[in-house]
Amino acid sequence: MGSKKRKRKEERPTIHPKNKYSQKPPDFAQLASLYPSFQPFVYYSPHARPNIDWTDFNATRELTRVLLLHDYSLTWWIPDGQLCPTVPNRSNYIHWLEDLLSSDIIPHTISTRDKVRGFDIGTGANCIYPLLGASLLGWSFVGSDVTDVALEWAGRNVNSNPHISDLIEIRKVESHENTLSVEGLHYGESVHNGNNIDVSGNVIAEVSPVPSLPLDLHFRNDKNYRGPPILLGVVRDDEKFDFCMCNPPFFESLEEAGLNPKTSCGGSREEMVCPGGEKAFITRIIEDSAVLKHSFRWYTSMVGRKSNIKCLVSKLWAVGVTVVKTTEFVQGKTCRWGLAWSFLPPVQKKLPSSIPEKSNMSFMLEGLQRQHSAIHVLQAVESYFSLHGVPCTLNSSSFTVDVKASKDQCDSILKNEPPITDNSTQCEPKSATSDGSSYLNITSDKLPFRVSVFQQIPGTLLVKGSLQERNSPISGAFSLIFQKLEEALRSNFCREK
């Protein structure tokens, strides 16, 4: 009996430890007894927990309504046809942002007041992120959208919660067919007007559309975003934000959006679809961020397809970001990914002048999900070093990765710094701090070492690092780099306890 319980615990999906549902998922039976309007949607079976029909939009909408009321004291509703958010998954995004903002990765330089200020791109009729962020953490928000229905119901949802309504502004964005054009716009320019309109008693700022810049001519040949403004022309010249967040339109067509028959979360065309799908939409956010730069501490977006992350990260390095962070949001059977970046210089951590040398190091990766095997960890090791331009060789038969890093590449890894890239696939990392000094007081040479991965018990892997040349003049960097690798692998594979 104990082994069955242990197995269920190991297979439990990843959820942020601060999430209200991390230890105890919603109890549908309890909710049905407390909220009669939810009871008709709950069904019971002898051998399973109470559940709802996830293909029924009315059921998922009522679940969201009662969860927001029961657990967050929020009054909420959306009309038929609008996107219905899942509360646990959206909460994960909020708590990930909380972690980013409280970290010391980049300076705390944006907010002039104590309150954190965020920008929700396409807040939708549900306005879920501003409502959660304001109620949970006291953050203030600007939520932008383009459709009358979204603006009206976002305003209603804000005004239905007077205890936080002063923290949230709903901002109208004018749709424009020619937002792809970049003529007459230069980096650093922003255009807006000061018109205000009222919808459902809520003040909505109306801004004029402004075209934003493509990354380069190569992207013109790809599927480009051709919708209304996203950040440029919506964010005002004098505005500063701690972060932006976005649940982008994931799909290229309504047909593609309807391919999953197991769920029904609704969603209008504007919420679900854009030419080029999420890749084109997030690329436009990247383009806008390259102009706005320090107007935000963090730029973030949710990503629906893991296959898009590599391409988007490459575009981020191409526009000169200083930091890129990713995470995975898992709730039930749904997986989404978070992508964050910044143009602020990373906080530089001074290293001791004398670095202790270790030739062998190891750590355990525990709590891995069943789909993650030793080969997945090996591939993650290879990707980690390749991101910094470090040559490495993966041997899938011996479960090893051989790495040979230069002094400059060691500096890049220790500073969490992106490599300098050109139009080719090769890259050379930056090697000096802003004052011209190096993180490592060592001569130019190579640091060869091997990373090996061993299966221990199900859900647990042993990762070993062995220095191949102890006499290397930069051998002192090995232990520090291996610690960086450990942090990255734990972040990617290990569940919080």
Task: Give the pLDDT band (50/70/90) at residue 258.
Answer: low
* CA 402, 408, 414, 415 torsion-angle sign: negative
Q: Is residue 28 part of a domain?
A: no
Q: Is residue 411 part of a domain?
A: yes
Range of the domain at 261: 59-342
Confidence at residue 447, expressed as pLDDT on a 0 to 100 scale: 87
Q: Which two tokens stand for residue 163?
A: 């205890």
Q: Is residue 4 part of a domain?
A: no
Confidence at residue 357, expressed as pLDDT on a 0 to 100 scale: 53
- Regarding whether 446 and 310 lie in a shared domain, the answer is no
Q: Is residue 306 part of a domain?
A: yes
Feature table: binding site: 90, 122, 145, 247
- Regarding whether 325 and 266 lie in a shared domain, the answer is yes
Q: Is residue 164 part of a domain?
A: yes
**Three-class HEC string of 381-425:** HHHHHHHCCCCEEEECCCCEEEEEEEHHHHHHHHCCCCEEECCCC
Find the CATH number of the domain harbouring 235: 3.40.50.150
Q: Is residue 8 part of a domain?
A: no
- Percent over 70 (pLDDT), the chain: 72
Beta-carbon neighbour count of residue 391 at 10 Å? 13
Confidence at residue 159, expressed as pLDDT on a 0 to 100 scale: 98
Confidence at residue 430, expressed as pLDDT on a 0 to 100 scale: 37
Flag whether pLDDT at 110 surpasses 80: no
Is this model's pTM higher than 0.85 or not? no
- Regarding whether 326 and 387 lie in a shared domain, the answer is no
Domain stops at, among 342, 369, 392: 342
For 94-124, b where at least 16 C-beta lie within 10 A, e where not — what string?
A: bbbbbebbeeebbeeebeeeeebbbbbbbbb
Give the span between the Cα atoms of 188 and 334, in whole angstroms.
39
Q: Is residue 20 part of a domain?
A: no
Q: pLDDT of 198-256, one tens digit each? A: 333 344 444 444 443 433 333 334 467 777 899 999 999 989 999 999 988 754 555 55
Count up the domains in the chain and report the number. 2
Give the span between the Cα atoms of 496 and 463, in whole angstroms.
19
Confidence at residue 203, expressed as pLDDT on a 0 to 100 scale: 40
- Regarding whether 293 and 145 lie in a shared domain, the answer is yes
- Regarding whether 248 and 125 lie in a shared domain, the answer is yes
Confidence at residue 491, expressed as pLDDT on a 0 to 100 scale: 83
Feature table: binding site for S-adenosyl-L-methionine: 90, 122, 145, 247
- Of the given ranges (232-241, 264-273, 395-404), which has the lowest mean pLDDT? 264-273
Helices and strands (H and E) in the chain: how many: 14, 18
Contacts with 67 (C-beta within 8 Å, 6 or more apart), sequence order: 26, 31, 87
Q: What is the dihedral of CA 86, 88, 91, 97, to 10 degrees?
A: -110
114 vs 124, which has greater pLDDT? 124
Task: Give the pLDDT band (50/70/90) at residue 336.
Answer: confident
Find the CATH number of the domain harbouring 364: 3.30.310.80
Of 205, 25, 277, 243, which Cα lies nearest the Cα of 120? 243
Q: pLDDT of 21-37, one tens digit each? A: 988 899 999 999 999 99
H/E element holding 277? helix 277-292
- DSSP 8-state secondary structure symbol assigned to residue 273: B
Q: Which two tokens stand for residue 27?
A: 């109890």
